Amino acid sequence: MKTVDAKGKLCPLPLILTKKALGEIAEIETLEILLDNETSVKNVTRFLEDHKMAFKLTQKGKEFNLLVSKTGVIPESTNVEEYCEVELPQKSNYMIAFQRDVLGDGVKELGILLIKAFVNTLPEVDIKPTSLVFLNSGIVLTLIDSPVIDSLKKLEKIGVEILVCGTCLDYYQKKTELGVGKISNMYDILDRLSRSGNVVYP
Amino acid sequence: MLFIPNFQHPTSKFQHLHFFMNYIILVFESTHRVLKAEKILLDKKVKFDIITTPKDISSDCGMAIRINPLVSNQNEIETLLTESGIVYMLYKKEMQ
């Protein structure tokens, strides 16, 4: 049995070592991963789950032991760093309501460019919004072929809630093309808007 | 034509070798150029992101193109842009 000792190592190292080791072992083999903090366990198990790897987790004192069976495949292109949990460093008290597929008023071409940059920059801001809601033509940003789909998925993964107007998806006949977030209704959307300290309308 | 292959940012932040992969960041001299480049790449179905130009590269409110080398071929993109006479500067940014 192959063992990866990732004790004392910070993200993304445990993930990199895990991915590498899983690439090296045969399908019938078991991989043992040693970890010493809960964040690493959370990140590594999320990574394993997403790639359909069966595992058993045991804890002995401060040490965690993961026994992994190679039941899935990890594509070479997988970016393990996406599994590094980023704890929200400061309490966020704002949300963003996307009501259009552009940012601001003006020439549409520029508005589209700006909204892409806006969403793609969001994962890099220190204080993330609590929720994103998408209404009317704003819903196109959440569809499978959206140019900002990767950034939205990244935000959802670190805990930003994404609500998409169901009526709007229905009206534009895009329900089957939703690529991220939850289909939602006016009750939930108004609930979030009314609870939020600040709402940003791009 | 201004074309600087593998142009490295003068500040040290971008110079030392990293264990991690880097994004390729293409910076253009105007928003119109960004839009033109975007159109060329989209027509060829190349995957990339429009981002705000990272602060360490420029303090202007500029748009840039970010390429993930694990997803898209840098050489193909550079060839497409160069063939169309698009001027750009190339930077690398550590993936986060």
Q: From A116, which residue of chain B is nearest by alpha-carbon distance? A: B50
| pLDDT tens figures, A19-75 | 999 989 988 889 999 999 888 898 899 899 888 899 999 988 889 999 999 888 888
Beta carbons of A72 and A51 less than 8 angstroms apart: yes
Kindly indicate the confidence band of residue B19, based on its pLDDT and cuts at 50, 70 and 90: low
Q: What whole-number distance in Å separates Cα of residue A112 and Cα of residue A102?
A: 5
Structural domain spans, chain B? 20-94
Look-up of token digits 């534009």: A172
d(CA A36, CA A6): 8
H or E element, residue A21? helix A13-24
ipTM of this predicted complex?
A: 0.70
Residue B45 has pLDDT above 70, yes or no: yes
CATH of domain B20-94: 3.30.70.260
Query: Which domains can be identified in chain A, with CATH numbers?
Result: 2-83 (3.30.110.40), 94-200 (3.40.1260.10)
Q: What backbone torsions phi and psi does residue A86 show, to the nearest 5 degrees?
A: -105, 110
| Distance between CA atoms of residues A158 and A153, nearest Å | 9
| Sheet with A131-134: strands ordered across | A182-184, A161-165, A131-134, A94-98, A198-200
Which residues, at least 6 apart from A115, have a Cβ–Cβ distance to it below 8 Å?
A98, A100, A101, A102, A103, A141, A148, A202
Positive/negative CA dihedral, A140, A143, A149, A153: positive
Q: Which residues of A touch B31 (CB under 8 A)?
A: 110, 113
Per-residue pLDDT, B1: 42
What pLDDT score was predicted for residue B14?
Answer: 45
Listed residue (A177, A91, A105) closest to A134, CA to CA: A177
R_g (Cα) of chain A, nearest Å: 20
Sign of CA dihedral B27, A134, A162, A143: negative
Q: Which of B27, B49, B56 to mutate to test the interface with A (most CBs of A within 10 A)?
A: B49
Q: Which residue of A has its CA nearest to B36?
A: A109
